[in-house]
Chain A
Amino acid sequence: MNDSKTPAWVNVILLPLVNIFFAFAFSAIIFVAVDVNPLEAAAVMIKGSLGYQEGVGYTLYYATNFIFTGLAVAVAFSAGLFNIGGEGQAYLGGLGVGLACLGLDHALPFWALLPITMVASMAFGALWALIPAYLQAYRGSHIVITTIMFNFIASALMVYLMVNVLKLDGQMAPVSRVFEQSAIMPMFHEIAAWFGLSFSESPMNLSFFIALACCVLVWILLWRTRWGYAIRAMGSSPTAAEYGGINHKKLVIIVMLISGALSGMLGLNEVQGYGQQLKLDFVAGYGFTGIAVCLIGRNHPVGIILASLLFGILYQGGAELAFDFPNIDREMIQVVQALVVLFSGALALMLVKPTERLFVFWDRKKKSLGKAEAEA
């Protein structure tokens, strides 16, 4: 566990890459098992996600979701808390966005509505994280179990609201009305047009930039503020933090509120940008993907942006795969994602020791070579 045995770049760059490599290698085996050439599949995925403007737009649209949920997991992780409830918090956040849009889209222009939907998404997401946070801090129940339970409660609540309250009369599908055009996030191709640039139509929208701004804010929060110091102190040593005068209970609440708010903002992209109406299951596992993103991104906003891009490529590329290969569909991406979580998260320590040994071995070899030269 002694980090000093290896240079910093090994821990920060090499090990995550090696872990991802292992995950991809095992994914390749599964591709072969279902009769798909993994190299061809990779080529299709890269071409489908980065090869043309619409594909890039989709990739970044997915990445937006992953940045929000990844940051949410990362902030909680930094404090040593595992927020597995991103799914439910994002669901509620989307509900907040949807209600704000449904209520105010006739009355307000977009630029007046945007702050309201942002606040609504954060408030609803944070609220859904507040209860587990309170129970963890003051009643001692385990946050992982409570947040899992809250995911299910959120999904039941949404089914109830959609079916009984928000569904349009005379409609079979439980969906709300489509928002007024004025409420909808400006799409990236529209934004590009303001600057005289042309970009193909895609669901990528303004919230991508909001997500990037969140990355900067989270970085400032964690590494440049008093709270951030307290959060990281609590994450690395709760007892030392407590001894240093940090109020553990209060901090758990604050961290989870921030985490929930970040998850909730997924609603901006998914409801106000992509869906443009409230419907069921729009979170679609993005909350869980946030865990994978955070693990590869090593809790750091820059890492999370890169990991989100990677998952954006996987999701968009995965959608394209289904056109070319009849044997697979989007579920295959779930497998790749699972392997990434397994290797980058659960087995993260597996390769630390071997790499260390390799470096110690190299070091010795270098030194003995040096010695031999000096003697000669």
Chain B
Amino acid sequence: MYENLILILDATLRVSAPLILAALAGLFSERSGIVNIALEGKMLSAAFAAAATASVTGNVWLGLLAAIGVSVCLSLIHGFASITHRGDQIVSGVAINMLAVGLTVTLGRFWFGLGGQTPALSDSERFTPITLPGADAVADVPVIGLLYSELISGHNILVYLALVMVPTVWWIVFRTRFGLRLRAAGENPHAVDTAGISVAWIRYRALMCAGVLCGIAGAYLSTAHSAGFVANMSAGKGFIALAALIFGKWKPVPVLFGCLLFGFLDAVAIRLQGAELPIVGEIPVQAIEVLPYILTVLLLAGFIGRAVGPKSIGVPYVKTR
């Protein structure tokens, strides 16, 4: 029982890591006033860039860099449309998602000729699990040993990075000058403008931060979680991250718990596939899979708690003359 629990929690961490990164990316952009339904597309493109670069150069860190680069570029396009030209933020997000689906497969097919996949990556071209010091030594100690060696140790570096990003993002958004301005741009951009600060530049920077985090999330998918890119491998994770962002009410720590909860549901769904449970019998996997979406809908509608986003979210800022 205990061992099962540890294994499920271990899987939870692995599944949650990209969600955490993407949700924090969404936090940056939505706190600054830009709805980001393009998380999915940015992640997918980044996943492709990471796998393609890692497979060509053999260096996973270059892959990560490429992923971040591509994701930031898409963020800049998003910003160019929705900040500079005051286009609809949702429409530009939809465009980026479509672009990612089409372009990754088209380029992948052209470059690697594997029907849109990248070649399978060897261990040296991936982020591999890190064994923390002493993990093997304490593995046999009851209770704590398993906890340390299975749950805490043995993840790849991006998982730890994702966890470290939570306090970091909290600190940036709530304890720095940039963070204050960022939140102000999302709540009341006129006030920011009156103070002589460019709303557009703040929002661009917020989108670039989001791009970096989405890039890491994408790289995680293709070079850490799996070994290579397959078509549409983000499979709705960007939207789950968006749901977690709403679930966490646009605050880093609750967002972390939202991601962990959704990751946990995912991990449980895999474990429960075809398993008979006492009393309820077999639970359809799909019922667990849709829980994140249903919970988010209920939360947004105020049936369980209430999620209210930044006030000026989705509204292009027009400087008054």
A residues apposed to B, CB below 8 Å: 30, 33-35, 82, 84, 135, 139-142, 144-146, 148-150, 152-153, 156-157, 159-160, 164, 288, 291, 295, 327-329, 331-339, 341-342, 345-350
Chain B residues contacting A347 (CB-CB under 8 Å) are 80-81, 85, 87, 92
Take A30-B103, A148-B37, A149-B293 as given contacts and tell me if A141 and B300 are in contact as well, using a CB distance cutoff of 8 Å: yes
Contact assessment for B102 and A333 in the assembled complex, using a CB-CB cutoff below 8 Å: yes
Contact assessment for B102 and A331 in the assembled complex, using a CB-CB cutoff below 8 Å: yes
List 9 A-B residue pairs with CB atoms under 8 Å apart, sorted by A's residue number: A34-B107, A34-B109, A34-B110, A82-B88, A149-B296, A150-B293, A152-B236, A337-B98, A337-B102
Contact assessment for B109 and A329 in the assembled complex, using a CB-CB cutoff below 8 Å: yes
Instruction: Please tell me the number of chain B residues within 8 Å of chain A, measured between CB atoms.
Output: 48
Interface hit among B52-60, B120-128, B182-190, B238-246 = B238-246
Contact assessment for A342 and B99 in the assembled complex, using a CB-CB cutoff below 8 Å: yes
Contact assessment for A148 and B94 in the assembled complex, using a CB-CB cutoff below 8 Å: no
Interface hit among B4-12, B191-199, B282-290 = B282-290
Contact assessment for B105 and A146 in the assembled complex, using a CB-CB cutoff below 8 Å: no
Contact assessment for A346 and B87 in the assembled complex, using a CB-CB cutoff below 8 Å: yes
Nearest chain A CB to B233 CB, angstrom units: 14
Contact assessment for A346 and B95 in the assembled complex, using a CB-CB cutoff below 8 Å: yes
Chain B residues contacting A34 (CB-CB under 8 Å) are 106-107, 109-110
CA distance A160 to B249 in the complex (A): 31
Contact assessment for B290 and A152 in the assembled complex, using a CB-CB cutoff below 8 Å: yes
Contact assessment for A146 and B286 in the assembled complex, using a CB-CB cutoff below 8 Å: no
In B81-100, which residues have CB < 8 Å from any A CB? 81-82, 85-88, 90-92, 94-99
Per-residue contact bits, chain B 215-257, to A (CB 8 Å; 1 contact, 0 not)? 0000000000000000100001001001100100000000000
Q: Which residue of B has the minimal Cβ distance to A295?
A: B91
B90: which of A84, A150, A331, A334 is its contact (CB, 8 Å)? A84
Q: Indicate if B302 sits at the interface (CB-CB under 8 A).
A: yes
CA distance A349 to B84 in the complex (A): 10
Take A152-B236, A335-B102, A335-B106 as given contacts and tell me if A144 and B37 are in contact as well, using a CB distance cutoff of 8 Å: yes
Chain B residues contacting A345 (CB-CB under 8 Å) are 87-88, 91-92, 94-95
Contact assessment for B90 and A82 in the assembled complex, using a CB-CB cutoff below 8 Å: yes
CA distance A139 to B304 in the complex (A): 12
Nearest chain B CB to A298 CB, angstrom units: 13
Given contacts A164-B284, A291-B91, 12 further A-B pairs with CB under 8 A are: A30-B106, A144-B90, A145-B242, A146-B297, A150-B297, A152-B236, A156-B286, A157-B286, A295-B91, A336-B102, A337-B102, A339-B99
Take A342-B99, A347-B85 as given contacts and tell me if A141 and B297 are in contact as well, using a CB distance cutoff of 8 Å: yes
Contact assessment for B106 and A145 in the assembled complex, using a CB-CB cutoff below 8 Å: no
The 5 closest A-B CB pairs, nearest first, are A334-B102, A346-B92, A338-B98, A141-B300, A335-B102
Chain A residues contacting B246 (CB-CB under 8 Å) are 145
Q: Indicate if B294 sits at the interface (CB-CB under 8 A).
A: yes
Nearest chain A CB to B75 CB, angstrom units: 14
In B253-306, which residues have CB < 8 Å from any A CB? 284, 286-287, 289-290, 293-294, 296-297, 300-303
Chain B residues contacting A338 (CB-CB under 8 Å) are 95-99, 101-103
Contact assessment for B239 and A152 in the assembled complex, using a CB-CB cutoff below 8 Å: yes
CA distance A255 to B103 in the complex (A): 35
Contact assessment for A328 and B95 in the assembled complex, using a CB-CB cutoff below 8 Å: no
B residues apposed to A, CB below 8 Å: 35, 37, 77, 80-82, 85-88, 90-92, 94-99, 101-103, 105-107, 109-110, 116, 231, 236, 239, 242-243, 246, 284, 286-287, 289-290, 293-294, 296-297, 300-303, 309
Chain B residues contacting A82 (CB-CB under 8 Å) are 88, 90
Contact assessment for B297 and A149 in the assembled complex, using a CB-CB cutoff below 8 Å: yes
CA distance A141 to B300 in the complex (A): 5
Contact assessment for B106 and A328 in the assembled complex, using a CB-CB cutoff below 8 Å: yes
CA distance A342 to B87 in the complex (A): 9
Q: Which residue of B has the minimal Cβ distance to A348?
A: B87
Q: Which residue of B has the minimal Cβ distance to A36?
A: B110
Nearest chain A CB to B265 CB, angstrom units: 12
Contact assessment for A144 and B35 in the assembled complex, using a CB-CB cutoff below 8 Å: yes
A350: which of B85, B294, B297 is its contact (CB, 8 Å)? B85
Chain B residues contacting A328 (CB-CB under 8 Å) are 106, 109-110
CA distance A348 to B236 in the complex (A): 28
Q: Which residue of B has the minimal Cβ distance to A23?
A: B95
Contact assessment for B95 and A156 in the assembled complex, using a CB-CB cutoff below 8 Å: no
Contact assessment for A159 and B300 in the assembled complex, using a CB-CB cutoff below 8 Å: no
Contact assessment for B286 and A327 in the assembled complex, using a CB-CB cutoff below 8 Å: no
Chain A residues contacting B80 (CB-CB under 8 Å) are 347
CA distance A345 to B88 in the complex (A): 7
Nearest chain A CB to B316 CB, angstrom units: 9
Q: Which residue of B has the minimal Cβ distance to A82?
A: B90
Nearest chain A CB to B68 CB, angstrom units: 21
Nearest chain B CB to A326 CB, angstrom units: 9
Chain B residues contacting A350 (CB-CB under 8 Å) are 85, 87
B300: which of A146, A157, A291 is its contact (CB, 8 Å)? A146
Nearest chain B CB to A180 CB, angstrom units: 29
Nearest chain A CB to B49 CB, angstrom units: 15
Contact assessment for B94 and A288 in the assembled complex, using a CB-CB cutoff below 8 Å: yes
A35: which of B37, B110, B289 is its contact (CB, 8 Å)? B110
CA distance A341 to B231 in the complex (A): 21
Contact assessment for A160 and B287 in the assembled complex, using a CB-CB cutoff below 8 Å: yes
CA distance A27 to B113 in the complex (A): 21
CA distance A291 to B96 in the complex (A): 13
CA distance A338 to B77 in the complex (A): 13
Contact assessment for A346 and B296 in the assembled complex, using a CB-CB cutoff below 8 Å: no
CA distance A295 to B97 in the complex (A): 16
Chain A residues contacting B35 (CB-CB under 8 Å) are 144
